Structure 1
Amino acid sequence: MTKEHKSGALPEQDRSDTIALPSRVAGSSSLDRLVDTARDYARAAASENTLTAYAKDWAHFARWCRVKGAEPLPPSSEMIGLYLADLASGAGGSPALSVSTIERRLSGLAWNYAQRSFTLDRKNRHITTVLAGIRRKHARPPVQKEAILAADILAMVATLPYDLRGLRDRAILLLGYAGGLRRSEIVSLDVHKDDTPDSGGWIEIEKQGVLLTLNAKTGWREVEIGRGTSDQTCPVHALEQWLHFARIDFGPMFVGTSRNGKRALGTRLNDKHVARLIKRTVIDAGIRAELPEKERLALFSGHSLRAGLASSAEVDDRYVQKHLGHASAEMTRRYQRRRDRFRVNLTKAAGL
């Protein structure tokens, strides 16, 4: 066994070789092209952020194994169970990880083993019993970000200037809020279908509003965003203004601007821009001003737009669920920070 195999390292140049012709099959130009195509699809199976996280998960586990005098390959359910226990206990001076982070680490290890042609039995009792105990002892309700409500988003938008950069950021906030979009979905949009290879969807502007077609976490979905009551608060008008003055008619919809904010560049915005924009405008608008600035910044994130729509829309929950692309009503309710609790009283309905 080579040193590389023992350590479990999987360099970038070797990842593309994990999909290849069987040794017994003679190569040909058409088969070689299919191998290249298959490798392209394999690379698109997970997002770049996910792959980066999985690579870090494996590096951490391999390093932990070396410290303990063990090898990461082949997979050992007993060692994985010990590793999870170590993560949860915070032994060795490292901070204890949350249950969700530990579960993510386990998913990363399973993926990494699969790439190396091994199978990690996640149902093995050495893993399941330890993980069940971690959940029981350490699980906490999920930390939810503050929802940005209608009055908040209007105050945030009002802080933006009317130069090109301000038009862009105004469109991002209003479209993200009205669409209940994830920050990655906002920046992945193109003007047309198939404009760029890294597109996550496209738009169609119509008289009644704008139709977004998104390649989201749960698959393709359409999001209808209607026009607002005034141009000042209308997400569709804000989008039209940005596209017109930025002279964008092809490719990524939201791009960077020149240093003076007067010229649109061709580079697609990173989703971190959305998070920074939200935090900056929350501070500028004086939202939750009674709290120290550090606490205010920690309360809001990209998900605050999504939670804000779910909490503010006065419509049947089924419409909100469809709009957000949730598979269950329970998931939608998690996003509703201020819903009408006890609206349905099953105690009285049951005759008590």
Structure 2
Amino acid sequence: MSPDAPRSPKFDVHQDGSASRENQPAGIDHVASGTPADARSGLSSPPPAAEPDLPAHLERLADRARDYVAAASSANTRRAYVSDWTHFAAWCRRHGLDALPPDVQTIGLYITACASGTATADRQPNSVATIERRLSALTWTYAQRGTPLDRTDRHIATVLAGIRNTHAAPPRQKEAVLPEDLIAMLETLDRGSLRGLRDRAMLLVGFGGGLRRSEIVGLDCHRDDTEDGRGWIEILDKGLIVMLRGKTGWREVEIGRGSSDATCPVVALQTWLRLARIGHGPLFRRILGDGKDVGPDRLTDRQVARLVKRAALAAGVRGDLTEGEREKRFAGHSLRAGLASSAEVDERYVQKQLGHASAEMTRRYQRRRDRFRINLTKAAGL
């Protein structure tokens, strides 16, 4: 290596957890000539490795393989990974370090900078969850290049364990939309417009099924309607069957009819499909032009979050908070948490509806459950 080439900062994590470092770069703005192009320019992701030319008869298979690669993770995950790689590459560029190939000591210093607030200009420390996501993004990106990163190396694992012990905090949960809140939110929507009918159906189906926002917009009318669909529906006399594809396979969700047509998820969905003239493809689509036409394109999951925020603000839900605080409190997850918190049934039924593997995960969604139903203090005789 030439004297001018950037070097990874040499710091060592000993078996007892102590750390030492040497050859730390003197200036954060120095960029040496040996830095790879993507680290210098801050590209969103590493350039793909050169691919050998394929015979013509294999090109279609290669295209299909790329489609399967894209389907291996959600669009949200890919966007987050691209953003995290951009963040890491920019940090390397500022410090004159190599982003490629992976260096465990560089990664150890990077996550330390994220935890201490020195990785970005705003000097705000990243949460433990954000740091773990950034590390997952780097691991995934390096793996795609065929240069795997060893997360179990002590330079990474020991530093990360210390970050968890020092900075771990309870997760900030989104506010649950309870039944009375949902009814008030529905009243803010225009029943005389296609957009209002669509939004009513989305809120009621999302709440009744305890669905994630990606599951709501991923629904199709029938099985195999689209390649990007995450499930489909079947309308029966007593309710709605939703088939969903998740990380661990397919699951079935039952959404029963409501006590009145005004709050019935099935009626709301049937009304939307009939007036929007949708019989095939995505259930929830964009409204075009002056609001009288329905397009072919599926909504994105971000539009579900915006809908929940907008309707909650318009309905005055949690009016004791400022508008800014309320906007932060509500999101697509609020519908899922609302069902878990308000359904007065045995916990195992809520767990099945939400698709949770454990009852403990379901309890995290229950914002107003009877926490002291079992009083161990009295049971012990005090």
Pair in the same fold by TM > 0.5: yes
Q: CA deviation at 1:34?
A: 3.1
Given candidates 279, 289, 295, the residue that maps to 1:249 is 279
Contact 2:197 2:271 in 1 (8 A): yes
Q: CA deviation at 1:291?
A: 2.1
- The RMSD of aligned alpha carbons is 2.4
Over 3 Å counting, the alpha-carbon distance change for 1:240 and 1:127 in structure 2 is same
Q: CA deviation at 1:38?
A: 2.1
Q: CA deviation at 1:258?
A: 2.9
Q: Which residue of 1 aligns with 2:93?
A: 66
Q: Secondary structure at the match of 1:108?
A: helix
Q: Which residue of 1 aligns with 2:22?
A: none
Contact 1:65 1:72 in 2 (8 A): yes
Q: Which residue of 1 aligns with 2:373?
A: 343
Q: Secondary structure at the match of 2:262?
A: coil
Which 10-residue stretch deviates more, 265-274 or 2-11? Answer: 2-11
Contact 1:218 1:325 in 2 (8 A): no
CA distance in 2, matches of 1:287, 1:3: 51
Superposed counterparts of 1:116-195, under 5 Å: 116-162=145-191, 163-195=193-225
CA distance in 1, matches of 2:287, 2:44: 38
CA distance in 2, matches of 1:208, 1:192: 19
Q: CA deviation at 1:274?
A: 1.3
CA distance in 2, matches of 1:83, 1:224: 46
Given candidates 203, 219, 228, the residue that maps to 2:233 is 203
Superposed counterparts of 1:274-285, under 5 Å: 274-285=304-315
Q: Which residue of 1 aligns with 2:128?
A: 99
Superposed counterparts of 1:196-275, under 5 Å: 196-275=226-305
Over 3 Å counting, the alpha-carbon distance change for 1:112 and 1:13 in structure 2 is closer
Contact 2:222 2:232 in 1 (8 A): yes
Over 3 Å counting, the alpha-carbon distance change for 1:291 and 1:4 in structure 2 is closer
Given candidates 68, 90, 97, the residue that maps to 1:41 is 68
Q: CA deviation at 1:146?
A: 0.8
CA distance in 2, matches of 1:126, 1:12: 23
Aligned length: 345
Contact 2:225 2:281 in 1 (8 A): yes
Q: Which residue of 1 aligns with 2:48?
A: 14
Q: Secondary structure at the match of 1:72?
A: coil
Q: CA deviation at 1:220?
A: 2.0
Q: Which residue of 2 aligns with 1:301?
A: 331
Residues 225-283 of structure 1: CA distance to partner in whole angstroms, max 9, x if unpaired? 01111111100000000000111001110111234322222221122221121112112
Contact 1:187 1:270 in 2 (8 A): yes
CA distance in 1, matches of 2:143, 2:231: 30
Identity of aligned residues (%): 60
Q: TM-score, normalised by structure 2?
A: 0.84
Q: TM-score, normalised by structure 1?
A: 0.91
Superposed counterparts of 1:47-58, under 5 Å: 47-58=74-85
Q: CA deviation at 1:5?
A: 7.9
Q: CA deviation at 1:33?
A: 3.6
Over 3 Å counting, the alpha-carbon distance change for 1:152 and 1:218 in structure 2 is farther
**What residue identity is the alignment partner of 1:77?**
V
CA distance in 1, matches of 2:93, 2:349: 52
Unaligned runs of 5+ in 1: none
Q: Secondary structure at the match of 1:123?
A: coil
CA distance in 1, matches of 2:285, 2:312: 22
Whose helix fraction is larger, Structure 1's or Structure 2's? 1
